[in-house]
Amino acid sequence: MKTPRPNLTVIRCEDVEVSAGFYRIDGLEFEKHRHGSGTEHYAASDGIWTFELYPASTKFPASSSTRIGFAVSSCDHTADRLRAAGFSLDAAPADSPWGRRAVAIDPDGHRVELSSPLTT
């Protein structure tokens, strides 16, 4: 049996439009979805993994403690674009054993790790 792999991540957002803007800067391309009579939401998928942004509700409040990580082509460039758009960083880009790494804060308070390979 193969090791399980993630195929779906869903986070609840106070303002899905603002959150979608944040994650678009990270490189995600969203489409609006609605399953049957369910809530309209944003979904980005690469065919293997789907990342969805749903509006918060009383039953499903906004989350904030989930940590999310993305491999990006340039950690520094993505961090600069996020800062220019008014978003905060918890950790500025720096070299680490896992490559170049920064941690941004999304509109709901999730810590979002951005990583890219070290360049020599």
CATH number at residue 18: 3.10.180.10
- Three-state SS sequence of the chain: CCCCCCCEEEEEECCHHHHHHHHHHCCCCCEEECCCCCCCEEEEECCCCEEEEEECCCCCCCCCCCCEEEECCCHHHHHHHHHHCCCEEEEEEEEECCEEEEEEECCCCCEEEEEECCCC
Q: Residue 19's domain spans which residues?
A: 8-55+67-116
13 domain residue, yes or no: yes
Asked whether residue 61 is domain-assigned, the answer is: no
Q: Say if 31 falls within a structural domain.
A: yes
Q: pLDDT for 13-61, tens place per residue?
A: 999 999 999 999 999 999 999 999 989 999 999 999 999 999 999 999 9
78 within some domain: yes
Phi-psi region of 19 (alpha: psi -120 to 50; beta: other; left: phi over 0): alpha
- Give the per-residue pLDDT at 55: 97
* Total domains present in the chain: 1
Domain assignment present for residue 2? The answer is no
Check: pTM over 0.85? Answer yes or no. yes
Q: What would the pLDDT profile of 55-93 be if each residue is shown by its tens digit?
A: 999 999 998 888 999 999 999 999 999 999 999 999 999
Residue at 62 is within a domain: no
Instruction: Please indicate, yes or no, if residue 46 is contained in any of the structural domains.
Output: yes
Instruction: Decide if 23 is inside a domain.
Output: yes
